[in-house]
Amino acid sequence: MKDLKDIWAEMDHSFEGPEIKLKQLELKSQVETPLTKMRSNFRMNLVLAGISTLIMGSLFILVDGFWFRILMGTILVGYAAIIWQTTYLYNRYLKNLYPDEDIKSYLQGLHKSIKEGLRYQELIAIFFYPVSLAAGYFLSLYERGEADSFFTEPFLWGLLLVVIIVLTPLLYLLSRWMYNVSFRSYLNRIEETLNELEKENQNEN
């Protein structure tokens, strides 16, 4: 496994002139900081997802309600898929930074895969927000002993519909904000570094 110093030393051929060392330090700073930050955020997301899964799994077992368990089981399946995908991306690109491969190819793969993966999770979440809201709604009904009335009381149907219509867009906007805070700026910095590397290669040719 090559260390960071060896990889950046291999990039000497990409630059010419007396500013080589300064350019290497600048690129190192551009890449190392966002990668380290993203790795920390991925770890935090995995921890939070694991805790959430344990809590929801406990509710699935403890709450004796057929519809609640159907909804909560659906959510657990979705969380399992998200945890698997997040773990794969973390192990592939962020567990060991600067693997033994061309750094440009590594950054290109990282940028594309993580950006697409997070976008995929956002789209999946649009489906799971209403399911999660319905699960919470049914939980409150079971606690009050009103679950059986849900299918005969139009008011309860209407209330759930209003909750879903109002809160789903808000939850989606919140997830977009969290994505921007946790990843977008770092992905943009990596994209800028890739563009800079591409320009240097074009100038060299």
* Complete DSSP assignment for 182-196: IIIHHHHHHHHHHHH
Contact 77, 60 (CB under 8 A): no
Domain that holds residue 154: 4-204
Number of domains in the chain: 1
Q: How far is CA 193 from CA 37, 82, 107, in A?
A: 16, 28, 9
State pLDDT tens for residues 62-86.
998 899 999 999 999 988 988 998 8
Residue whose tokens read 């697409």: 116
State pLDDT tens for residues 109-129.
888 888 888 888 788 888 889
